[in-house]
A and B are shown apart, each in its own frame.
Chain A
Amino acid sequence: MAMKSNSKKLNGSSALRRMAPYLMLVPALVVIFIFKLFPMVSVIGESFMRDGEFTFRTYEILFGDRTFWQALWTTLKMNLVMIPLQIVLSFILALLVNNVIKGIGIFRSIYYLPVTMAISVAAITWDLMANYNSGVFNSIISFLGFEKQGLFTDAGQALWFIVIMATWKGCGMWMMYILAGLKGVDTSIYESAKLDGAGYFRTLFSITLPLIKRTMLFVVVANTSANMLLFAPMKLITEGGPQNSTNVLMYEIYKSAFRNGNASRAGAITSILLLIVLAVVVIQFRMLNEKDND
């Protein structure tokens, strides 16, 4: 009898133990469902609704809309330049601040400093600095004897100036992640490589990069998601202009939803952007995992 009761107790506690991880995950899953999955499904659903009826009309209008295609191209063009640029720069910065020399902490702090600034504050500050009449950039340009530049107000320069601003703002953070990865590499491996006669670049490409691949995967995926959804500079500085040159999909979504009250169009563009980010991230995962399998 006593044995039966003990075994029951054991069964009960082992069931509880098995359930424990799932129970602990419940709060996180609930939050993810409410704040991530539900809005996603809701937005996708919204894109097929017009006047309370299910329809493909929104997508029909959207695919015939020149502004949408321009915004899509601007988003892709910007990210094709910005993502590699940020990752390469962050990697170089991480390598630099990984050196053990006196006062390196000061440099790490300086490079990280822009991250601590709110994106809205950074955008407004850069807008002031780039002002055509009184901005510091144009003062320097004029002082050097060149013609004043439109910067955020020039259709040919605005997007690339946003790329520069976002890179300045973002690189410090990605640098820190990569630095953490670099710190995790056993220094004895570098010593062995040195003894075997490997040069700096050979060590970098054959040892360092493969060993921090997991960190790099995270950085690449997180950077892609963050940059594809970049919005604040377009909202606060350029309002999608000049000549729609900075009108990315995120800004088009904002305009549709909050200025024009067109939830259906905003939902449709959001769904498309979601698919694009998903596709890019899946490709990135596959490429990095393939190398892992090799």
Chain B
Amino acid sequence: MKLRRLLSGLLMAAMCMSLTACGNEAEVAEDTDSEVSEESAGEEGGGETVIHLMMSNSQEIGVSAAVEAFNEAYAGEIRCEADYISFNDVFETLEVLMSNQSTEYDIFAADGPNVSAYVNRGYLQPLNEWISDDEIAMFTDSMITEGTVDGQFYGAPMGDSSLVMYYNTKLLEEAGIEIDFDAVTPDNRLTWEELVGYAEQALSVLDPDGNNGIYGIEFQQVGRVYQMNVLANSLGGAQISENGLSVDGVINTDPWYEALEFYQTNVENGIFTRGIGATDTSNYFQSGKILFYLGTTALPATFEKNGFVDYGYTYVPCFEGHESDVRTSCGSWTIGMNVYSEKQEAAAEFIKYLTLYDGADVYIDASGMVPALSRQFTDELKAEKPFMEMAEYEALNTSLVRAVTPAYNEYNTAMDAMWDNVRNGADIKESVDNCIAELTTAFKEYE
């Protein structure tokens, strides 16, 4: 009897809860309806227009500051709501949404090398209607090239990127290693070979048995072509063929084999890490587990946020005998307009704010990215962020744009896998051959 009463009580409670839930749902539905009508009214004239932005979380620090500034500046007219998607998922999310002609986001992050592929697939709206030629000319040349396809401007760059070599000052001190970083200049760089030597020396003191999990050198974006290709590029290797549709005869050449061999040998010797993903390397560096760390100029903003101060930075190293061949990564996220957006005017206003005017300054200040606008390379910026001087030098003298190809996603996937395979000890020639075979087929789709 008691059990029956208890059951009846539970059923009543469940019914009440479901009714409450229905009520909430109805309220939510009403709220959503009112938001939709408000959004529509905004674009047609009247209320506030709400636009939606999809961005990689790797850019959250800079973009969220710019979005906040935009929402203040345009209060009552346009409001931007941003979603920050994990870097690992942002490309796939975009593919899923855009292949279904989604209007969920009016503006989205398009990584520079992907602009051409997105235009090819019909995802991006040309921006020339809203951004004049004079305004486009405000960007640096390489950024204009990255955002332009067939003479139309699709990807407005938020910033550029460049690399510096960070080092952990505390670890160097503990290891008793003194390096005259002041003597390091663009013409007198440290070499990768020297770095390996310092790393070996440091590890013999800091982690002689290999039990402390300390490593000598690591790339911030380990396993990703954006940074890994620097090794091959600095030995004279190219990214891709000139027509952008072949890697045969490009990556199966001496510079590439030499770079891959250098990397694999030093992974096996415990100088570079193994089993740590690109999203985790920054934590390893900040927790004193990595001595030398090749990363972007956006990192100091993260270090500052996390209170990490035991670091210095210097120019990207070169290989011995290839001092004049040193190459660095460049390019960054651009911002594009969804071709299906129903709020293109408001979206264009936001894009201009973020990339050309006040928002661009807020973004560069907060993110630590290299400016994409010529006017932003000021003495004030370089005084405030001394690494910008190195970044400016590399951007102007050693930067090499990523592979220019409509099949950049395929290129990226296959090349990342090749670097990973080599890292995990696979036969180098076999890895290169597999990569060539995979990409040869993939490129056929675009011929």
Contact = CB atoms under 8 A, between A and B. Distances in A.
B149 interface: no
Contacts of A155: 421, 424, 426
Chain A, interface size category, equals 20 to 34
B445 A239 contact: no
Contacts of B81: none
A258 interface: yes
B138 interface: no
B409 A259 contact: yes
B442 A150 contact: no
A155 B431 CA distance: 11
Q: Counting chain A CB atoms within 10 Å of each CB, which of B98, B430, B441 scores highest?
A: B441
A65 B414 CA distance: 14
Contacts of B426: 155, 242-243
A261 B95 contact: yes
Given A153-B424, A243-B421, A259-B92, A132 B275 contact: yes
B382 interface: no
B413 A259 contact: yes
A243 B409 contact: no
Contacts of B213: 133-134
A150 B425 contact: yes
A61 B445 contact: yes
A262 B341 CA distance: 23
B99 A133 contact: no
Nearest to B93: A258
A85 B415 CA distance: 35
Nearest to B439: A67
Nearest to B276: A133
A170 interface: no
Main secondary structure of the interface of B (DSSP, over half): helix
B410 interface: yes
Contact of A66 (B121, B407, B410, B441): B441
Interface residues of B, number: 32
Main secondary structure of the interface of A (DSSP, over half): loop
A264 to B, nearest CB: 9
Interface in B118-132: 121
B444 interface: yes
Contacts of A150: 424-425
B417 A153 contact: no
A134 B280 CA distance: 14
A255 interface: yes
Given A66-B437, A132-B274, A154-B424, A261 B444 contact: no
A239 B409 CA distance: 15
A133 B426 CA distance: 18
12 contacts: A66-B437, A66-B441, A132-B274, A150-B425, A153-B424, A154-B424, A155-B424, A241-B420, A243-B421, A243-B426, A259-B92, A259-B95
Given A61-B444, A242-B417, 9 more contacts: A67-B437, A67-B441, A133-B213, A134-B213, A154-B425, A244-B434, A259-B92, A260-B409, A261-B409
